[in-house]
Amino acid sequence: MKRAWKPLLVAFALGLLVGVAGAWWSAPYYFHRRWESGKFQNQLLQRFSSKLKLTPDQRTQVAAILEAKRQHIEMLRAEVRPKFEDIRSTTSAEIHKLLTAEQQKQFDVMQAEWETRSKKWHPRPSG
């Protein structure tokens, strides 16, 4: 009887692991895109309005607060993004120096693929 449960437990554990990993990987992108586009604030405002029974005046004030904070977050991201990019590029340069010529070619291809993927999933705002 114990043997029959073992494959099920392994399958369950693997499924759980894949599900958690997928959620962890996609959550930053999903939240980031929704936050910048204003969709998150609109959904939050709808939730507040329905759950808290906001008056029209309160709704207007809450919407203004959410928009102001969204702008603050975008400014913070714009400030921090160059620091992250600097760390990323210096890390790549240091790794590149350690590799053989053939490995460097492969590394360059990998980086180009990462950059393409990054632009697809995390487009940078213009300006």
Confidence of residue 107 (pLDDT cuts 50, 70, 90): very high
Does residue 76 contact residue 55 with C-beta atoms inside 8 Å?
A: no
Chain-wide mean pLDDT for the chain?
81
pLDDT at 121 over 90: no
Model pTM?
0.49
Residue 126 has pLDDT above 70, yes or no: no
Plot region of 77 (φ>0 → left; ψ -120 to 50 → alpha; else → beta):
alpha
Please state the three-class secondary structure of 35-90 as a single string: HHHCHHHHHHHHHHHHHHCCCHHHHHHHHHHHHHHHHHHHHHHHHHHHHHHHHHHH
Q: What is the DSSP letter of 54?
A: -
User: 19 falls in which pLDDT band (50, 70, 90)?
Assistant: confident
Over residues 79-98, the mean pLDDT reads 92
